[in-house]
Amino acid sequence: MATFPTQNPQFIWIIAAVRRDSQVVKPILHHIVAASEREARRELLREHVCFFAGRLALQGVSYE
């Protein structure tokens, strides 16, 4: 099966985040599908303090 580049590449972003209202600093890993790190962080920013952990390409898609 061939893989083809896509116009809007999607990645799985792994972002560690701590809830803003938490008394305990315990990071939780969130896996978010998005085209960019900024887009992925935007989903968590309201309730979390985020820091980058990693990025995975979606399976079956080639980004060359």
Q: Give the contacts of 16 (CB within 8 A, at least 6 positions apart).
A: 27, 28, 29, 30, 50, 51, 52, 53
Put simply, whether the predicted model's pTM sits higher than 0.75 gets the answer no
Rounded CA-CA distance 35/39 in Å is 7
Position 46 confidence tier, pLDDT thresholds 50, 70, 90: very high
User: Is the pLDDT reported for residue 61 higher than 70?
Assistant: no
Lookup: tokens for 17: 């985040």
Please tell me the predicted confidence (pLDDT) of residue 11: 92
Number of helices (H) and strands (E), helices first, in the chain?
A: 1, 3
Q: What pLDDT is recorded for position 43?
A: 93
pLDDT at 2 over 50: no
Question: In angstroms, rounded to a whole number, what is the distance separating the alpha carbons of residues 44 and 31?
Answer: 11
Whether pLDDT at 18 is above 70: yes
